[in-house]
Amino acid sequence: MGRLASKVALISGGARGMGAAHAREITAEGGSVVIGDVLDAEGEALAEEIGARARFIHLDVTSEHDWANAVALAISEFGCLNVLVNNAGICTMGSIENFTLAEWNHIININLTGQFLGIRAATPALVQSAPSSIINVSSTQGIEGIAGLHGYTASKFAVRGLTRCIAIELADRGVRANTICPGTIATPMNEGLDVSDFNPMKRKADPQEVAKLVVFLASDESQFISGADILIDGGELAGHGPLLQR
Ligand code: NAD
């Protein structure tokens, strides 16, 4: 309780899934949140559930106008903005022969350009309210490839590069930037996926387990962590399974 008492966070894609868990956990730790999403009904309901320290705003991360409004709302409602969680994302797939240019542009726009636009819109407020923290959501698919996930994997690799540049560029103005790389998390994005063959813990994570990491990175407890890629995957990328059965 109270680890984020002085923090105001803007969470993209915060209406459901991991973003909603981040909103609940940040406010449970005393912070305030602006939840931005294209899912208006879910976002409004979540803000109402959380109460006085939450607001919802319609935010399409591909819109500069929506980002400007979301940053302005954080400042008008809560007085500052010092945490940005770039969480919104989509996952589409297909064979390389069939993955269309429109599909490619769509996923790059949301998963990568959306984060760039969010950082650009929030930076003046983050600098003004420093110490501040940017948390960009990548994936284990930002570290290793997977057949058929061309746009998703490319976007999530690129998020790590973007984050490193920002970490260097804003360090002397009190803004840290880190990437988190979740493995398989139990959200609507991967409903029906069986992980028992490839995850050493043979389970998906609960979104709240990722939210605990977001709280740590949002807080000043992590004040010397910047430019890092932080895996949270139950050991999935640690290596391969046993050569011999026990
Ligand atoms: P989710 O589908 O439950 O949530 C994604 C949210 O992003 C939704 O609320 C959706 O409405 C929102 N969104 C989509 N397009 C948007 C746009 N243009 N503007 C604003 N919001 C938009 O999925 P999730 O699993 O909670 O995913 C959250 C993030 O975590 C994503 O970036 C995803 O790529 C990443 N991730 C998920 C997993 C997983 O296993 N679930 C693993 C690694 C990384």
pLDDT tens for each residue of 22-41: 999 999 999 999 999 999 99
Q: Is the CB of 188 under 6 A from ligand 1?
A: yes
**Catalytic positions:** 152
Take atom 8 of ligand 1 and give the residue whose Cα is closest: 13
Please name each of the domains of the chain with its CATH number.
Answer: 8-232 (3.40.50.720)
Range 204-213 average pLDDT = 98
Q: Is the pLDDT of residue 245 over 80?
A: no
Per-residue pLDDT of 181-193, as tens digits, reads: 999 999 988 889 9
25, 215 contact by CB (below 8 A): yes
111, 159 contact by CB (below 8 A): yes
Instruction: Report how far ligand 1's centroid is from the alpha carbon of 245 (Å).
Output: 37
Q: Which helix (H) or strand (E) holds 220?
A: none
Q: Is the CB of 175 under 6 A from ligand 1?
A: no
Pull the structure tokens for residue 233. Answer: 């995957």
Per-residue pLDDT of 156-199, as tens digits, reads: 999 999 999 999 999 999 999 999 999 999 998 888 999 988 99
Per-residue pLDDT of 44-55, as tens digits, reads: 999 999 999 999
Q: Is the CB of 63 under 6 A from ligand 1?
A: no
pLDDT-derived band at 242 (thresholds 50, 70, 90) equals confident
What's the alpha-carbon Rg for the chain, to the nearest Å? 18
CA distances from 163 to 49, 71, 84, 89 (A): 32, 19, 12, 16
Q: At what angle do helices 150-170 and 114-128 cross, to 10 degrees?
A: 20
182, 210 contact by CB (below 8 A): yes
Opening angle at CA 121, ends 213 and 16, nearest 5: 45
The 3-state DSSP class for residue 136 equals strand
